[in-house]
Structure formats: structure tokens, C-alpha cells
Amino acid sequence: MTKPDIPAASDFIRDRVERDVQQGVNGGRVQTRFPPEPNGYLHIGHAKAITQDFATAEAFGGVCNVRFDDTNPDTEETEYVEAILADIAWLGFRPGAVHFASDYFETLYAWAVDLVERGLAYVDEQDGDTISAQRGGFGKPGIESPYRDRPAEESLDRFARMRAGEFAEGAMCLRAKIDMQADNMWLRDPVLYRIRSGHHHRTHDAWVIYPTYDWAHGQSDAIEGVTHSICTMEFDSHRPLYDWCLDNLTLPGDRPQQIEFARLEFTHTVTSKRRLKTLVTDGVVDGWDDPRMPTLVGMRRRGFPASAITRFCLDIGTSRTNARHSIEALEAVVRRQLNATAQRRMAVLRPLKLTITNWPKDADGNSVVEHFEVTNNPERAEDGTRTVAFTGELVIESEDFAEVPPPKFFRLSIGREVRLRGAYLVTATDVVKDESGAVVEVLATYDPQTRGGDAPDGRKVKSTMHWVSVPHSVPLRAGLYDRLFAAAVPGEATGEPLDDVNPDSRELLTEARGEAALAEVPGGEVVQFERLGYFAADPDQPGLFHRTVGLRDEWAAIQKRQAK
Ligand code: ATP
Ligand code: MG
């Protein structure tokens, strides 16, 4: 976003920051950050955080940076760093700067030494399970570690040797000395450093001890001059620890504050990098950018406009109450935007041959070619028109013909007249079947008086159908997608969201035909296949289109049902 674009939607964070600015907190300066861990690709939930972080800063003339929270060498990779930056750029945001928590490892270490020297931290040589068990629980007292009151020199010695690599993973850790009886579990002597032998994507093998989230986050905020550290509700209980760390350090500059808001969740959707990664490694999907994935790369390939995603994130407002949004509500925003921008084209996904038996032939016996001028987008006159070729050799959608029409079927059947969009009225006269008895061709006649699709005598037809002239068509493949998770709340029944993966979430149609103009759609662009939905041209595979969303506004239907 290049200028503030804050909607009227309620946003308690914006209100809180406004109050701080008015009161001159931190000199009225506003700085935020988006702090992803580079352990996977960003998903739709992250889009909410990004939009919140950037829009808050911009509303007050401040800056938003990206800081990679790269404190766990075992899960983080440079591939993810690059992908995350590309996603943020795609969403339309430009970070003031890109930082890495790993750049502060030396400072964080020095600050930890300082805590130990002041009797505020100690090296605990118990194993992780013992430490966890001693932490107690709500209403269950904590047990102090026997190492808690060891002399500072002893802890300093062990901490230095931890850093030097003398001990195995899990042999010891550095803990803050706060209060083992605190009501807040995070204050019961939290771990600040642990030993990790993995290879770090940036510091390589320089370190074998790594700060925990709690020791790295607030301090990184302080180092960078972040004023408002916006995060999701699961960090609410960490806030006293965030503040304890900052209270016990000499800060280099302004004092940051943590503000939490509710995560963005959707029905039929999982927003957890770890679980999404499992779908990729288990081969359930083709990759992080599979069009069914709720990742930003997936949604992009699927044809979701970035502006629809950020629009949605702004419009829902920001609160502290967790709520699961209907995925149809996001799709409605996508559909509304695409309706305004997408060029209309004709494509037939499951072709059935339609031969017009009274269509004129030229001297060589070939079907005469006629050209029709059709509008590219009725929503936007400036998009103009294009020419579509029409002949007696057509294909129509299989489901638009019924040999024995069921009740309320108003499309083509023997003896019935329908409109071929923008061309002529045609009447089916007969069918051709294969040995198995399946209809493979429909024979029809056209009325030459109905050029453009209207009869001079004003007679009405009940249905208008799309079509493609076979000699002018291009082959297409089309991906049709159903929900990747069958359950509205994945994992509701078993506790494991991946149990609800829908095994039939993709249908790939390989026999589709499209009008000639479809050969020229650039990768990534979305067009409307008339009557079928919005389809995004795959960025890598020419001729492959992914259905972004259908045409029907399912969200409106859901709202209508809810209102009843
Ligand atoms: P995941 O569990 O998917 O890895 P995470 O919270 O661990 O998510 P991070 O990379 O640590 O992912 O998150 C970066 C930022 O994005 C954090 O500030 C986090 O609060 C925020 N965030 C993550 N998921 C959501 C979500 N579903 N809705 C809103 N914000 C989110
Ligand atoms: Mg995380």
C-alpha cells in the first residue's frame, strides 16, 4: 500500500496506537514489524498479520519492517526467507527494512550474561522433562531447581562453555530467575537459551546455543526501535515475560509494547505452517503453491487477487475474540473483484460435438466461417470487444444436452430451441451414439434469421449456452477444486486437522476446448469462462487453467440462510 487505506471497520489496535500518538508515547513515533519464522511459506492467516502491521504503521506515518524470527536452526531455511519476502511484495507491501533476529545473537548473548551477573538468570543442568514437571500448573505449585541459587560465577562458566560447544543438546539450559510460584506459567523461570547442534541458515555453525522466542522477541523489537509489537492471542500470556525482559535490561532506545489480536481462521482451512508442510512432504498436494493450498503462493496460483486478500483483512476489522470466518466470505470478495476486472471468454470443459446440419458450406465443402463481435467485459466498456469465429462444427458443454430432459431442464434436448450465446438460435434434431449407446454428437439446425441470438418474431428461448467452434479452438486443461478439508472445522472430530483432508479435492479435465483468444492469456491472469467461473492461467504450464471461484455467490446464500 502506498497510502493509508484504513477502513471504518473496528480496529482496537489502531485506536490504541492513536491514543499513544496523541499522548506522545515514544515521541509519538510508530514503528511495527512483521516477524515470520522462516520455517515454511506464508498462509492466509499471515496476510492478516501483515496487513495489520503495515496498515497500522502507515496510518500514523510510521514504518513497518520485516524481521525474520530465525532462532531455531532445525526448521529454518533460506528458501523460506526468499518466499516470504516475495509473498509480502505480492501482497503490495514494502518493508522499511528486512532484519533477522540472528543478527542480534551477540547482543542477546551479552544481555543474558548481564542477567546472570545480576542474579537474574542461571544455568540449570536438569533435563527438559524434569524442568517441565517442576514448572507445576495452574493451582499447582512450582518446584525450584536445585541449580536456582548457584553462584553467578558457576552459571557464567557453564553458559560460556555451553556457547563453546562443550555440552550435548539438552544437557543444560539458561533460565531466567523470576518466580516459581507465579500464576503466569511463563514467569516460572522460563528457558532463555537452549543448546542446538543444527546448522543455522545464516549464522551457519557459529552458534550452538540459541535464544528462545521469549528471550529474542522483545529485545529484537527494542534493538530495532519497534514501538508496537503486534502479534496473535497465543502470546497474550507471554506478555508479562516480554515486559519482564525489557524491564530488566538497559534498552538502547524506545520501549516497545506487545499488543495481541485474534488469529484469522477460516472454515475448511488449516493455518499452521507445520501442518501445511506435512501436506507437501506427504504428497497430498503438489507443493506449497498447489492451487488448493491456503498459502499465499497457492492462492496466487489459484488466481486470488492480492488486493482481494488485503481488502478482506481490512474489512473484517481487528479484535481479540477468536472467530472462524466462512471461506465463502473471502471468495465473495475475490469474485466481486474478478467480476470487475476479468475478461470474458468461452471455453467448454467437457465437450460434446454439436453439428449444425443446415450450416452453409463453401465450394470446397468446408463449413463457412462467420465472425461475431462480443464484449470482453460487460462490467467495463473500455475493455472493448473481440471477434469470435462461428461455424457448423461446434462443441458445447456435455451437461447442456439431455437426451431425456429431466423436469426443469431447459437446456438443449431434441426438438428444443436454445440460444448459442451471441450467435444463433439452434434446435436439436437428432443424436449420434457410439457402440456403448453414449451420445457422442448432437445434430441441430440453426435459424439464419436469428443472427446475434434474437428472433425477429420475438419468440423466446429458455436458455443461452456457451460454445466453441472446433476448427478455431485451442486445447485446454482445467483444474476444478473442491475444499482441501472436507470438514468446516478441520480436526473437530479427531483433534487432528489432517484427518479431514478431502481425498477428492481436485478434478483435472484434459479434453477442454477454448476459443482462440484463450491461447493468449498470460500466465497468472484470470479470465471468466462464461457460465463456468473464473479461471487463472497457470504461470508455468501454458494451456492449464485453475478455477479460482465459481460464479455463484455462495456467501450470499449462506447469509440468507443465517438470516432466516
Ligand atoms: P504457524 O503456526 O503457521 O507457523 P506462526 O504463528 O508460528 O504460524 P510465524 O511465522 O511465527 O507463524 O508468524 C508470524 C506472524 O504472523 C506472527 O506475528 C503471528 O502472530 C502471525 N500469524 C500467524 N498465523 C496467523 C493467523 N492465522 N492469523 C493472524 N496472524 C497470524
Ligand atoms: Mg511460530
Which-ligand-closest: CA of 270?
A: 1
Catalytic-labelled residue, pool 16, 18, 37, 196: 37
Residue found under cell 429431466: 406
Query: Please, where are the H alpha helices in 294-403?
Result: 296-302, 306-315, 327-341
Residue 408 and residue 292 share a domain: no
Instruction: Mark which of 408, 439, 466 sits at the end of a domain.
Output: 466
pTM of the model: 0.95
Of 279, 347, 293, 289, residue with least CA distance to 481: 293
Any idea what the CATH number is for the domain that residue 491 is in? 2.40.240.10
Ligand 1: centre distance to CA 38 (Å): 11
Residue 407 and residue 321 share a domain: no
> Where is 162: in which H helix or E strand?
helix 152-164
Residue 495 and residue 358 share a domain: no
Confidence (pLDDT) at 1? 42
Confidence (pLDDT) at 4? 45
From the CB of 36, is ligand 1 less than 6 Å away? yes
Which-ligand-closest: CA of 262?
A: 1
Residue 363 and residue 338 share a domain: no
Asked whether residue 152 is assigned to any structural domain, the reply reads yes
From the CB of 231, is ligand 1 less than 6 Å away? yes
Asked whether residue 5 is assigned to any structural domain, the reply reads no
Which residues are 529's β-sheet partners?
345, 533
Cell numbers standing for residue 226: 519497534
* 37 is an active site residue: yes
Q: For ligand 1, pick from 13, 74, 232, 267 the residue to mutate: most ligand atoms within 8 Å of CB.
A: 232
> Where is 99: in which H helix or E strand?
strand 98-100
Asked whether residue 266 is assigned to any structural domain, the reply reads no
From the CB of 75, is ligand 1 less than 6 Å away? no
Residue 381 and residue 502 share a domain: no
Burial grade of 564 (CB within 10 A; 0-12, 13-18, 19 or more)? exposed
Which-ligand-closest: CA of 87?
A: 1
CB atoms inside a 10 Å sphere around CB 223: 20
Residue 530 and residue 403 share a domain: no
Going by alpha carbons, the residue nearest to atom 30 of ligand 1 is 49
Asked whether residue 1 is assigned to any structural domain, the reply reads no
Ligand 2: centre distance to CA 39 (Å): 8
CB 200 within 8 A of CB 76: yes
Q: For ligand 1, pick from 41, 46, 320 the residue to mutate: most ligand atoms within 8 Å of CB.
A: 46
Residue 420 and residue 332 share a domain: no
What are the phi and psi torsion angles at 134 (to 5°)?
-75, -15
Residue 301 and residue 221 share a domain: no
Catalytic-labelled residue, pool 273, 301, 419, 547: 273
CB 216 within 8 A of CB 249: no
From the CB of 48, is ligand 1 less than 6 Å away? yes
Residue 166 and residue 61 share a domain: yes
Residue 427 and residue 333 share a domain: no
* 273 is an active site residue: yes
Confidence (pLDDT) at 8? 60
Helix (H, G, I), strand (E, B) or coil at 525: coil
From the CB of 158, is ligand 1 less than 6 Å away? no
Asked whether residue 493 is assigned to any structural domain, the reply reads yes
Dihedral (CA of 183, 188, 193, 198) sign? negative
Contacts 24+ apart (CB under 8 A), 452-457: 452/372, 452/422, 452/423, 453/419, 453/420, 453/421, 453/422, 453/423, 453/424, 453/425, 455/425
Kindly list the strands in the beta sheet with 351-356, ordered across the sheet, starting from the edge strand earlier in the chain: 464-465, 417-420, 425-433, 439-446, 351-356, 393-397, 468-469
Ligand 1: centre distance to CA 36 (Å): 7
Q: Which atom of ligand 1 is nearest to the CA of 263?
A: 28
From the CB of 88, is ligand 1 less than 6 Å away? no
Domain count, the chain: 3
Any idea what the CATH number is for the domain that residue 144 is in? 3.40.50.620
CB 532 within 8 A of CB 349: yes
Q: Buried b / exposed e across 135-146, counting CB within 10 Å, b at 16+? A: bbeeeeebbebe
Of 361, 370, 354, 357, residue with least CA distance to 472: 370
Helix (H, G, I), strand (E, B) or coil at 345: strand
From the CB of 264, is ligand 1 less than 6 Å away? yes
Q: Which atom of ligand 1 is nearest to the CA of 50?
A: 16
Confidence (pLDDT) at 177? 98
Ion ligand 2 contact residues with beta carbon within 5 A: 37
Catalytic-labelled residue, pool 16, 163, 255, 263: 263
- What are the residues whose beta carbons fall under 8 Å from the beta carbon of 323, sequence distance 6 or more? 262, 265
User: Residue-wise pLDDT tens for the chain (564 aa)?
Assistant: 444 454 468 999 999 999 999 999 999 999 999 999 999 999 999 999 999 999 999 999 999 999 999 999 999 999 999 999 999 999 999 999 999 999 999 999 999 999 999 999 999 999 999 999 999 998 899 999 999 999 999 999 999 999 999 999 999 999 999 999 999 999 999 999 999 999 999 999 999 999 999 999 999 999 999 999 999 999 999 999 999 999 999 988 899 999 999 999 999 999 999 999 999 999 999 999 999 999 999 999 999 999 999 999 999 999 999 889 999 999 999 999 999 999 999 999 999 999 999 999 999 988 899 999 999 999 999 999 999 999 999 999 999 999 999 999 999 999 999 999 999 999 999 999 999 999 999 999 999 999 999 999 999 999 999 999 999 999 999 999 999 999 999 999 999 999 999 999 999 999 999 999 999 999 999 999 999 999 999 999 999 999 999 999 888 888 888 887
Give the DSSP per-residue string, 262-280: PPEEETT----HHHHHHHH
Instruction: Mark which of 438, 466, 494 sits at the end of a domain.
Output: 466
- What are the residues whose beta carbons fall under 8 Å from the beta carbon of 515, sequence distance 6 or more? 345, 346, 347, 388, 389, 468, 469, 472, 473, 474
CB atoms inside a 10 Å sphere around CB 130: 13
Residue 494 and residue 481 share a domain: yes
From the CB of 273, is ligand 1 less than 6 Å away? yes
374/414 Cα distance (integer angstroms): 28
Return the HEC string of 346-364.
Answer: CEECCEEEEEECCCCECCC
From the CB of 17, is ligand 1 less than 6 Å away? no
Confidence (pLDDT) at 66? 98
Asked whether residue 98 is assigned to any structural domain, the reply reads yes
Task: Print the domain residue range for 510.
Answer: 273-343+476-563
Residue 486 and residue 454 share a domain: no
28/420 Cα distance (integer angstroms): 64
Dihedral (CA of 137, 138, 141, 144) sign? positive
Instruction: Mark which of 261, 289, 313 sits at the end of a domain.
Output: 261
